[in-house]
């Protein structure tokens, strides 16, 4: 029994049970495990089975090249003060067990929401008990502050294992970042085809973290704004344009390997098979956009608004011809068009896997919808995002209509092996 | 041509076109209509047709006894300063035309999102152009402040037509209402099975209102928390319990007539066939709830958490036996149980049609999810809600876990006749 292998009690670490039941009623937690046989509960069997399950365990984490689901609940966490390496490991173990259950359409814990002892809080909060897995994926990431909290203290004994490439993103021109929407020691991306399933996942994982990590910020999203599979049609963002036509697709395994997964030679070894995740909350000033003439909208994007074809001609998937010119020898696709500046050919072949969602979070005091794009991208190295975003931040005609207000970066470890836990390679 | 019948230009009032294009570019709006034939646009034909369309026109507004859809975008508006009776009428006319198009799965305006003149802003914002109607309903209501703004000025010449029963809700014990989440001159409830469709509706109706009315507050919701049809299963709220088992169902037309629709004898005549809508944003302290033992959770609600059966026995739809007692002659369904206090038999037979949604709006600075139930109910008279809510606010065991933070009330006019507009009876 080493520090890294905490005692398990019926599938959840002892600390996990404490977390589930809260510090004040810790006794119930222990009672629960002891009472298991008495109550005849046979494990987490609630939740209808869905044909659309994505296993949590595997070489890579799911939720990256998985065909993008329709809904998102994303959460960033900070580790609590005074937590130890053991706390962090146990948290990741408890999250793994719960994620394995929920992604299979099962409730969490031994007793789920309703079959447990009546004198203990239910282990699962229960709002998803009649729902299928709905394609749920849970993807975990580590922020730079997990490795080095800035006060010089190596809280978790992993400072020396920080990936060299995992550094805070630089300040980009135009950034208007809010602290309360940025950063985080850990993140969980929960995607599903039913928002109640995604919300249930984040809620229960937050609950499991009680006393060890707490929500720093969170974001709901809908209407995936990128396809990540050739089997998906291209959805539209809140500018009304198709978004992600030229995205990396899961079926293009060569590009996925060279652009998305961290390779063994990249280092560090524990991150091989993982990726880097960048999250940006991009507020759209949609009221201004909506008063912009159609020609200007199309010029800003570089595509037609209906079909999504490049302004150089063709249909949606026709490769853009950036050299084609029209009147006065001006390029048909404007030099500042978003699509030109984001295109791999403008960025030395760099591609990133976008997996963002639309959001509307009510309205501001002036009656403007607080709406936009919650951008998520996965890439083999943060440099890929940084290079493209520097190009965009300096030159993109779209900047007149958007404002980056939140930002975070995470190293996404490889998938957990059955019987192990997500992130285990970092601690061995 | 009276004040009440503004000039129409191609299906939208002239003012509507101004609203659509914004004050700064009004010239384009007029240009659009004039250019219609030239551009060959034949009206709003975008958007796939769905089998699940609910017509906007009819004796009653849709979105009330319509089987509850899965997603909500609710918006409250205030009329702009200096607006006139004509402005209000034209706004309702423009909203009617747009609502008729969108609920049929069509884009708004003559040209929609992409077929219009290139030198004008698109009439439709375009993010729903590939999506079906997705069961969209748009339901419009009038707040007390529309009739009497409080400064004694009868802005719209309708003060004398205010329904006697349309008064601000009383302060209930425990209310912690936020001004920025309460009230409103007008409301629009947009429900659909796709959040992008509901958001598109509110966005475009807000845009049409530009210069005449502006968003006061808005709320997104998911996972309808009530069934309104016997064909629907009972969904769960974020307490993990089935919600709305005993709700009024559309198929029970006798109850719908006696409890939901305003009858001719109720007065005023213009509201016959309408209803009253109450909205309450109910924040749940889910972290506290989640630490409550299962027995207590069930006692608070009065039902089992799994099946949703009354604690007096049976299955979900077994009528509760409030007299049944157990140990120590204590009632099996606690005297303070939510279900008992809300039940018609405890409220002189009063029933209301609940049509609420779950919400999660990120988290607060302490890391607690800003989550709960956005309660919506329709009733023949506000007194029905007030009586039940007074009973609940004083005695409900659930009060320990909830906080009402937003509140609004609206008179919901009857449905619009084809060729007329929603609310027309108020102005004739």
Q: What is the pLDDT of residue A52?
A: 80
Nearest CA-CA distance, residue B104 and chain A, Å: 19
Inter-chain touch A367–B216, beta carbons under 8 Å: yes
Q: What is the pLDDT of residue A7?
A: 35
Neighbours of B295 (CB within 10 A): 12
Q: Which residue has the higher pLDDT, B345 or A49?
A: B345
- The three-class DSSP label of residue A406 is strand
Listed residue (A13, A146, A160) closest to A412, CA to CA: A146
Asked if pLDDT for residue A3 goes beyond 80, the answer is no
- Element housing A372 (H / E): strand A369-379
Q: Which residue has the higher pLDDT, B168 or B45?
A: B168
Taking the CA atoms of residue B117, residue B120, residue B123 and residue B128 in that order, the dihedral angle to the nearest 10 degrees is: 80
pLDDT-derived band at A238, boundaries 50, 70, 90: very high
**Considering only CB atoms, which chain B residues are within 8 Å of A180?**
365
Burial (0-12, 13-18, 19+ Cβ within 10 Å), A231: exposed
Looking at residues A58-79, what average pLDDT do you find?
97
Tell me which residue in B207, B294, B360 faces A118 most closely, judged by beta carbons.
Answer: B294
Q: What is the pLDDT of residue A51?
A: 52
Asked if pLDDT for residue B44 goes beyond 90, the answer is no
Residues B192-234 have pLDDT tens digits of 999 999 999 999 999 999 999 999 999 999 988 788 999 999 9
Inter-chain touch A199–B291, beta carbons under 8 Å: no
Residues A242-268 have pLDDT tens digits of 999 999 999 999 999 999 999 999 999
Residues A150-164 have pLDDT tens digits of 788 899 999 999 999
The whole-angstrom distance between residue B116's C-alpha and the CA centroid of its chain comes to: 32
Instruction: Choose from A45, A114, A212, A237 for mutation: most chain B CBs within 10 A.
Output: A114
The answer to whether B194 and B331 have CB atoms below 8 angstroms apart is no
- CA atoms within 13 Å, Cβ hemisphere of B295: 6
Residues B269-297 have pLDDT tens digits of 999 999 999 999 999 999 999 999 999 99
Asked if pLDDT for residue A427 goes beyond 90, the answer is yes
Taking the CA atoms of residue B166, residue B171, residue B176 and residue B177 in that order, the dihedral angle to the nearest 10 degrees is: 20
Distance CA A398, CA A400 (A): 5
Listed residue (B102, B116, B124) closest to B33, CA to CA: B116
Nearest CA-CA distance, residue A287 and chain B, Å: 8
DSSP secondary structure of A295-351: HHHHHHHTB-SSS--BTTSS-TTSPP-TT-B-GGG-BSS-TT-HHHHHSGGGTTT--
The mean of the pLDDT values for chain A is 88
Tell me which residue in B216, B293, B360 faces A199 most closely, judged by beta carbons.
Answer: B360
Residue whose token pair is 């079906």: B132
Residue whose token pair is 């409220």: B347
Burial (0-12, 13-18, 19+ Cβ within 10 Å), A122: buried
Asked if pLDDT for residue B8 goes beyond 90, the answer is no
Q: Break chain B into its structural domains and give their ranges.
A: 35-41+52-161+183-224, 233-417
Model ipTM?
Answer: 0.89
**Considering only CB atoms, which chain A residues are within 8 Å of B121?**
290-294
Inter-chain touch B121–A222, beta carbons under 8 Å: no
Residues A43-56 have pLDDT tens digits of 333 333 345 899 99
- CA atoms within 13 Å, Cβ hemisphere of B203: 31
pLDDT-derived band at A222, boundaries 50, 70, 90: very high
Distance CA A251, CA A230 (A): 7
The mean of the pLDDT values for chain B is 88
pLDDT-derived band at A224, boundaries 50, 70, 90: confident
Distance CA B294, CA A122 (A): 6
Q: What is the pLDDT of residue A24?
A: 29
Asked if pLDDT for residue B30 goes beyond 50, the answer is no
Q: What is the pLDDT of residue A225?
A: 78
The answer to whether B321 and B312 have CB atoms below 8 angstroms apart is yes
Residues A416-426 have pLDDT tens digits of 999 999 999 99
Q: Which residues contact A400 (CB under 8 A, 6 or more apart)?
A: A288, A300
DSSP secondary structure of A105-165: T--STTTTTTSS-TTS--SS--TTTTS--TT-EEEEEE-HHHH--SSS--TTS-GGGS-TT
CATH superfamily of the domain spanning A233-417: Apc35880; domain 1 (3.30.70.1030)
Asked if pLDDT for residue A114 goes beyond 60, the answer is yes
Inter-chain touch A119–B293, beta carbons under 8 Å: yes
Q: Which residue has the higher pLDDT, A400 or A36?
A: A400
The answer to whether B126 and A240 have CB atoms below 8 angstroms apart is yes
Asked if pLDDT for residue B398 goes beyond 90, the answer is yes
Q: What is the pLDDT of residue B51?
A: 52
Inter-chain touch A304–B233, beta carbons under 8 Å: no
Distance CA B304, CA B286 (A): 18
Q: What is the pLDDT of residue A407?
A: 98
């Amino acid at each position: 029994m080493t520090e890294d292998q905490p005692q398990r009690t019926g599938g959840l670490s002892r600390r996990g049970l404490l977390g589930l039941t809260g510090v004040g009623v810790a006794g119930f937690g222990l009672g629960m495990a002891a009472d298991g046989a008495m109550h005849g509960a046979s494990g987490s069997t609630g939740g209808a089975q869905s044909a659309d399950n994505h296993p949590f365990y595997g070489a890579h984490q799911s939720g990256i090249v998985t065909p993008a689901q329709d809904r998102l609940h994303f959460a960033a966490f900070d580790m609590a003060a005074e937590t130890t390496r053991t706390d962090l490991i146990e948290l990741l173990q408890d999250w793994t067990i719960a994620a394995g259950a929920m992604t299979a359409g099962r409730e969490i814990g031994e007793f789920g929401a309703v079959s447990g002892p009546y004198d203990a809080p239910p282990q699962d909060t229960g709002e998803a008990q009649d729902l299928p897995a709905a394609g749920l994926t849970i993807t975990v990431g580590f922020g730079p502050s997990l490795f080095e909290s800035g006060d010089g203290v190596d809280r978790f004994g992993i400072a020396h294992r920080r990936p060299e490439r995992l550094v805070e993103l630089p300040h980009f021109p135009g950034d208007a970042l809010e602290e309360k929407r940025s950063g985080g020691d850990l993140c969980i991306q929960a995607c599903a085809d039913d928002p109640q399933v995604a919300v249930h996942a984040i809620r229960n994982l937050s609950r499991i973290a009680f006393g060890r990590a707490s929500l720093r910020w969170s974001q709901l999203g809908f209407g995936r704004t990128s396809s990540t599979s050739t089997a998906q049609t291209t959805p539209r963002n809140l500018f009304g344009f198709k978004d992600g036509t030229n995205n990396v697709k899961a079926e293009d395994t060569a590009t996925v390997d060279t652009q998305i997964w961290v390779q063994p030679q990249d280092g560090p070894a524990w991150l091989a098979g993982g990726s880097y995740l960048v999250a940006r909350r991009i507020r759209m000033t949609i009221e201004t956009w909506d008063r912009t003439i159609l020609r200007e909208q199309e010029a800003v994007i570089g595509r037609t608004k209906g079909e999504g074809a490049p302004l150089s001609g063709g249909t949606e998937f026709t490769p853009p011809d950036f050299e084609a010119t029209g009147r006065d020898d001006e390029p048909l696709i404007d030099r500042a068009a978003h699509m030109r500046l984001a295109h791999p050919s403008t960025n030395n072949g760099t591609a990133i896997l976008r997996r963002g969602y639309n959001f509307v979070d009510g309205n501001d005091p002036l009656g403007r919808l607080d709406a936009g794009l919650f951008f998520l991208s996965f890439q083999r190295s943060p440099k890929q995002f940084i290079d493209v975003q520097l190009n965009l931040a300096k030159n993109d005609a779209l900047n007149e209509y958007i404002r980056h207000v939140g930002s975070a970066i995470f190293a996404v470890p490889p998938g957990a092996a059955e019987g192990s836990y997500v992130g285990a390679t970092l601690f061995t």
